[in-house]
């Protein structure tokens, strides 16, 4: 009888201790999350304040003012559209090159494939300013400065190596028997790639495309180096020059930053499950 009474008491004590431990971890996680999200809150808060410096901003937007958003939309809408075109073009070009390259590296016995992958990794380590300076000379000779195609090429060159690594890792985890069955049925390499591999690699393609979009959307270095006029101006460069012109009107600057953050947030929320599947799909065969 004594043994029967002691067991629930021990279990209850352990349960309470585990519960307190979990609550402690939860509180700690909320604390760190609040620290990381505070700059985002302050950006939104400052965008809703009347015109003035950030030093005069109250902690809560008790009387929200949308004048900053009206100014941002009227003066930065073109730059937002330019960034959207460049980002979508970079995604299309990156996937068009990275997907076949990843398929070839994953399924074909290419001599020197290890060297190619090593070169791709090394290319990710080259400082962006070095690439931008090299591209400036080439673009000046080819007439691609101050052009949307030029920025699409530059941003794609930054996103293609990462896309190849992500897609290849996922394709390595796909069963080779599926492709072999398509080949036995008479499908060529192109047909098998288009009809079998591409649909099965949807998660990795979405993941690679999303990261390429974020690379291009947030790019500042290429935009600053490869554009010398106002003919083509992505929103990152627009915000940079906006600060100098409206240093006493931070509500407009912060409103532009909020508008520039919306596409990235929407895409991340919409593609969250595909990102998780795409980044971990190649880890287990």
User: Does the reported pTM lie above 0.85?
Assistant: no
- Mind listing the pLDDT tens digit for each residue in 7-42? 455 454 556 666 666 787 888 889 998 899 888 888
- Mind listing the pLDDT tens digit for each residue in 195-248? 888 888 888 899 899 999 999 999 999 999 999 888 889 999 888 877 765 566
- Rounded to whole angstroms, how far apart are CA atoms 102 and 164? 5
Least confident of 58-67, 122-131, 151-160, 262-271: 58-67
Six-digit token string for 159: 């996103």
Round the average pLDDT of the chain to a whole number and report it. 81
**Cβ-Cβ contacts under 8 Å for 198 (sequence gap 6 or more):** 99, 205
Six-digit token string for 92: 């299309």
Average pLDDT over residues 251-269: 87
Q: What are phi and psi of 164, to 5 degrees?
A: -60, -45
pLDDT at 283: 43
Closest CA to 47 of 68, 75, 62, 63: 68
Q: What pLDDT band is residue 55 in, cutting at 50, 70 and 90?
A: low
pLDDT at 1: 46
* 206 within 8 A of 275, measured Cβ to Cβ: yes
Average pLDDT over residues 87-105: 93
- Rounded to whole angstroms, how far apart are CA atoms 33 and 105? 40
Instruction: Indicate if the pLDDT at residue 187 is higher than 80.
Output: no
pLDDT at 189: 77
- Rounded to whole angstroms, how far apart are CA atoms 134 and 253? 32
Closest CA to 41 of 29, 59, 55, 53: 59
Closest CA to 176 of 107, 111, 108: 107
Q: What pLDDT band is residue 119 in, cutting at 50, 70 and 90?
A: confident
């Amino acid at each position: 009888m004594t043994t029967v009474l002691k067991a629930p008491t021990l279990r209850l004590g352990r349960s309470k201790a585990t519960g307190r431990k979990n609550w402690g971890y939860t509180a700690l996680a909320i604390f760190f999350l609040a620290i990381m999200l505070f700059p985002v809150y302050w950006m939104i808060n400052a965008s809703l304040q009347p015109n003035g410096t950030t030093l005069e901003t109250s902690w809560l937007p008790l009387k929200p003012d949308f004048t900053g958003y009206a100014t941002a939309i009227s003066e930065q809408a073109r730059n937002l559209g330019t960034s959207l075109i460049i980002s979508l073009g970079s995604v299309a070009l990156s996937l068009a090159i990275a997907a076949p390259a990843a398929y070839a590296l994953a399924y074909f016995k290419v001599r020197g494939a290890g060297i190619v992958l090593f070169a791709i990794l090394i290319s990710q380590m080259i400082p962006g300013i070095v690439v931008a300076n090299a591209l400036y000379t080439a673009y000046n000779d080819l007439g691609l400065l101050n052009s949307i195609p030029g920025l699409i090429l530059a941003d794609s060159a930054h996103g293609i190596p990462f896309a190849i690594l992500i897609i290849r890792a996922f394709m390595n985890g796909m069963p080779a028997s599926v492709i072999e069955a398509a080949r036995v049925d008479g499908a060529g390499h192109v047909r098998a790639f288009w009809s079998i591999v591409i649909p099965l690699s949807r998660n990795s393609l979405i993941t690679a495309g999303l990261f390429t979009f974020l690379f291009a959307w947030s790019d500042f270095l290429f935009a600053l180096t490869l554009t010398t006029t106002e003919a083509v101006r992505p929103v990152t460069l627009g915000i940079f020059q906006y600060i100098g012109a409206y240093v006493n009107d931070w509500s407009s600057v912060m409103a532009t930053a909020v508008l520039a953050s919306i596409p990235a947030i929407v895409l991340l929320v919409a593609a969250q499950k595909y990102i998780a599947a795409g980044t971990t799909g190649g880890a287990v065969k």
